[in-house]
Amino acid sequence: MHKEGTNIGVLALQGGFAPHIHMLQSLGYRPREVRYAYELDLCHGLILPGGESTTIYIQAQRMNLLEPLLRFAKRAPLFGTCAGAILMAKLGILDVNVERNAYGRQIASFCEPISFQKHCFSALFIRAPIIRELGSTVEVLATHQGMPVCVQQGHHLAATFHPELTEDGTIHRYWLEQIKQNQEA
């Protein structure tokens, strides 16, 4: 929770949820780990972290979270990073076609500068997916070598890299503004 009463959840089934929690804390929030459907009712926004997308999907299925996630996405902003972006595409929350591990194995991970909202920072790509196709309502917010690496559809945001593993909170702040606008609507 933030001093303005905004509750931010981070899906904590598998993967890199802890760095998102740390990033949100550095921005003045006290996020909650989300593992059960009822916890979604307590949130104004939810981060789907990186990790292993198939494992996250299977865990969400076992925890009966898939339908609740779809309902949540209709009312509140999601932010998916790496595997989280893949999960958003698989569930039809984000109208994109994503290729998993498109840059290669873990050893092929890299850090490259990208520009987001006129702000340049280093983006960390770890076994990152590539967004191959975009639906007509998906807006590209950042690219790397001509390929979309950060996109927005409605109030949902997805990045194929890991902004939570840097000290730069620009993208998280942008998404938190989406939550604020959603609350005001």
pLDDT over threshold 50, residue 1: no
**Residue owning tokens 């998993």:** 100
Q: Bridge-partner residues for 32, per DSSP?
A: 9
Among this protein's residues, is 20 annotated catalytic?
A: no
Catalytic residue check, 120: no
pLDDT digits 0-9 by tens, 53-63: 899 999 999 99
Q: Does domain 8-184 have CATH number 3.60.21.10?
A: no
21 backbone φψ class: left, alpha, beta (φ>0; ψ -120 to 50)? alpha
Q: Yes or no: say if 40 and 77 are a contact pair by the CB < 8 Å rule.
A: no
Q: What rounded mean pLDDT belongs to the chain?
A: 90
Angle at 10 between CA 154 and CA 160, to 5 degrees: 55
82 is catalytic: yes
Q: Which of 82, 155, 156, 172 is catalytic?
A: 82
Mean pLDDT value across residues 36-52: 95
Residue 100 confidence (pLDDT): 73
More confident: 119 or 64: 64
What confidence score (pLDDT) does residue 3 get? 44
Average pLDDT value for residue range 94-122: 79
Of 183 and 70, more confident: 70
Pairing label, strands 156-159, 119-125: unpaired
Average pLDDT over residues 118-133: 85
Please determine, for residue 51, whether its predicted confidence score (pLDDT) is greater than 70: yes
Catalytic, out of 155, 156, 162, 172: 162
5-33: pLDDT as tens digits: 789 999 999 989 999 999 999 999 999 99
Mean pLDDT, residues 44-54 taken together: 93
Residue 182 pLDDT more than 90? Answer: no
Binning pLDDT at 50, 70 and 90, where does residue 105 land? low
